[in-house]
Structure 1
Amino acid sequence: MELASMNALQLKRASETDLVKSEMVSVPIPKLKPDHALVHVKYASIQPSDRLNAQGLFPSTTYPRIPGRDYSGTVVDISSNSEESKSWIGKNVYGSSGSSLGFDTDGTHAQYCLIPQNALVEIPTTMSLLQAATVGVPFTTAHLCLTKARVSENDVVLVLGANGAVGSAAAQMARAMGCKRVLTAVRRPVSNPDIVLVSDSPGISLSENISTLTSDKGIDVVIDTVGDMDLMSAAVEKLAFQGRYIWIAAPRGVVSRRLSFDVFQGYRKEITLLGCNSVARTLEDTAGYLRSVNTWIDRGLLKALPEETFGTVKLDEAIEDGYKKTAQKVVIDMS
C-alpha cells in the first residue's frame, strides 16, 4: 500500500509535570511491519480508560501517542504472503488493547491502525460494526473476572454495578456459563435488578438483601465493577465458604481506599480477594478472550448494547464531543 497520511487524535506531553494535551493531527498511515495487519478503522469507542489516559493517569503511556483501545474495522493489508494470512484481507475484525494499544503503541482513534496478526478476531455476524467497537474492554474484562474467580455452574454470583458495561457483560456470561444463580445489584432500578441499593446506606442494604436472597448462605463469587469501599466491606463479609471477591475499580480522589474485614472469619471461610487489571494483559490475551466469547455471541447468550445507546461523533469532533463529555457513551465514526 502506498504510504499516505491519515487523521488521528494524538496525546502530547512535554514532561511528567505538564498536562497532557489532545490534538487532531495528520500523520503517515502506519507502515506494515512483520507479523502485523493494517486495519482500516471504521468505529472506535471512547472508553472511560481512554478518558483517563487523556488526563495522563496511566504511567505506562508514552508520548506522543494516538489513544484508543477498542475498535472495529476491515483488514486492508497484511505482512505475511501466506495464503492463510492473505485470507484476512477484506474481513471485518474487532478487538481491544490490553497493555499496549493506546498506551505504548499507537491506538485506534485514527483512520488506520496496526494490529498483530495473531490478535485479529473476526466480528460475529450477529453484531454490527458499531456494536463491535464498543464491547472490547467490557467483554474482555468481564471474561477475565469470571476466569480469575474460577466461576462454575455450582456458584451463586453477585454482580455489583450490573447496569454498567462490564457488569452487564459479567451477568450475561455468568448465565451463559450455567451458574446456579446470578444476582444483580444496582444503584438505579433498571432492567429488573435483584438488589436496588439504598443511596444513603448502600452497604447496609446490600448486606440485608444478600442475607434474604441467599437464606444467609452467602455469595460464592462477587464481581465488583463499582469500586465503593462501603459496598466492598459489606460484600466481603457476606462471602460463603471459599467465596471469591474480584474487583476492577477503586475510589478516585481524596478518599480512603482501605478495606477492613474480619480476618478470623476470612481464614475460617477460606475467602479469596482478587484484583483484576485488564490493562495488564497483552493484545493477544484480549484477542483470546474475544474468541472465547464469540460462541456465546453467536448463540445469542451475550449481547452488545443497541446502537442507539451510543452517541456517534466524527474524528474531528471527538475531543470536544467525546472525550470531554464523560457522562456519555460515545463512538467515533471514522467514515
Structure 2
Amino acid sequence: MKAAALTEFGGPEVLSLTDVPEPHAGAGQVRVRVRAAGVQHFDTGIRTGWAPPSVDLTFPVVPGNEFAGVVDEVGDGVTGFAVGAEVLGYSTTGSYAEYVVVPADQVTAKPESMPWDIAGGFSANGQGAHLCLSQMQVNPGDTVLIHAAAGALGTFSVQLAKAWGAGVVIGTASEANHEYLRSIGAVPVTYGEGLVERVRALAPNGVDAAMDNAGPDALRASVELVADKNRIRTMLSDEAAEELGVPALGPSRSADRLAELVKLYEQGLIKLHIRAAYPLADAADAHRDLETGHGRGKIVLVVD
C-alpha cells in the first residue's frame, strides 16, 4: 500500500510517498481504508526521531495518530462494527497511509453529517482538549484561559469549555486571529510581554483554570494568574510543569471520550476549521505548514 513514510529522521523532506506492507486486522482489530488523516505536532516529533518509549521507530516509520475512513476488515471477536462502517479514530502511528489497523475500541461511528476532512482531524486535538479541561475541572461559570487558542487544539478547547458552561473563555493569539476567536466564543488577548496584565484587565475577578498550548512562558503566566495549580494543565511544557508544581496530564484517550465529542459536534457545539487539506503525497508540505506555528484551525491529509 502507499503511505507517507520515513526511512530516516530529519526535516519535512524525509517524509515521502512510499510502498509499505499492507496490514491486516487480527483478533479484536479493525482495518480502516483511510479517507483522511490529521496532522499533529506529535507526528512532527516522530519525524525528527522523538517518540514515547513504547513506540517502535523501526524504518519505515509511518506517522499519523488520527484518521477517518471505512472499515474494510473485521478481526475475530469484534462486535459493533461491520465492513462498510464509516468511522473515525486514533492510533499512535500509522495513519498516513491507505490502510490502518487498530483495536476496535479505538474507533467510533462517524456521523453522516461530518465531512471526511473534519472527521480525519477530529480525534487527537478533541481528546487532548477533553483530557485537559476535565482534569482542570472546568465548571459552569468559570473564567478559563486557553493559550494558543486559534490553533486546532485551542479551537477545540475554547468550544468545549463553552459547551461545559464556562462563563468567560479568554484565548491568546496574534491579532490577526482575534476575530476568529470571537467567532468561536472566546475573548481574545494578544500573547507576549505584558500578557499577565492584559489578562487581569479582562478578568478582574481572577482566572479559575488555564490550559497551556504555547510553551513554558505561557505556563509561567498561567501560574501567576490561577490560584490553584491543580487547575492548570500543559500539552507542551512538561519540564516547566515539573519545575512549577503543575500536575502532569494523564494519558487516557478512549472511544467513549471521542463519541462524547462527536455528539457535541452533532449538536453544533463544536466546529472544526480546516486550515488546509493536502494530498497524502504532499505530507512533507503539510508538516512545513504546521511548523510555521501561527495558523488557525486544522491541517489534514486526504487519501484518495
Aligned residue in 2 for 1:8? 3
| Structure 1 residue 59, shift from structure 2 partner | 4.7
| Structure 1 residue 11, shift from structure 2 partner | 2.4
Q: Does 1:334 align with 2:303?
A: yes
Unaligned runs of 5+ in 2: none
Q: Does 1:297 align with 2:291?
A: no
Report the residue type matching 1:224 in the other structure: D
Q: Distance in 2 between matches of 1:19 and 1:239?
A: 38
Deviations 1:244-280 (A, max 9, x none): 11111139xxxx958887xxxxxxxxxx723336xx4
Aligned residue in 2 for 1:179? 166
Are the structure 2 counterparts of residues 36 and 139 from structure 1 closer, same or farther at C-alpha, using a change threshold of 3 Å?
A: same
Query: What TM-score, normalized by structure 1, do the two folds share?
Result: 0.77
Report the residue type matching 2:62 in the other structure: I
Are the structure 2 counterparts of residues 40 and 161 from structure 1 closer, same or farther at C-alpha, using a change threshold of 3 Å?
A: same
Indicate the percent of aligned positions where both proteins have the same amino acid: 24
| Structure 1 residue 312, shift from structure 2 partner | 2.0
Q: Which of 287, 294, 299 is 1:323 aligned to?
A: 287
Q: Distance in 1 between matches of 2:113 and 2:37?
A: 18
Report the residue type matching 2:301 in the other structure: I
Aligned residue in 2 for 1:246? 233
| Structure 1 residue 23, shift from structure 2 partner | 4.3
Q: Which of 196, 203, 210 is 1:222 aligned to?
A: 210
| Structure 1 residue 243, shift from structure 2 partner | 6.4
Q: Distance in 1 between matches of 2:122 and 2:147?
A: 19
- The number of residue pairs the alignment matches comes to 288
Q: Distance in 2 between matches of 1:239 and 1:169?
A: 21
> SS of the residue aligned with 1:291?
helix
> SS of the residue aligned with 1:190?
helix
Are the structure 2 counterparts of residues 247 and 241 from structure 1 closer, same or farther at C-alpha, using a change threshold of 3 Å?
A: closer
Q: How does 1:198-213 map to 2 (within 5 A)?
A: 199=192, 201=193, 204=194, 206-213=195-202
Are the structure 2 counterparts of residues 26 and 135 from structure 1 closer, same or farther at C-alpha, using a change threshold of 3 Å?
A: same
Query: What TM-score, normalized by structure 2, do the two folds share?
Result: 0.84
Deviations 1:169-224 (A, max 9, x none): 1110011111232222223333235242264x2xx2x2223322232x31111111
Deviations 1:91-139 (A, max 9, x none): 1111223xxx21xxxx111101112112221112332011111122210
| Misfit runs of 4+, over 4 Å | 18-21, 256-261
Q: Distance in 2 between matches of 1:151 and 1:59?
A: 28
CA contact (8 A) 1:220 1:242 kept: no
Aligned residue in 1 for 2:143? 156
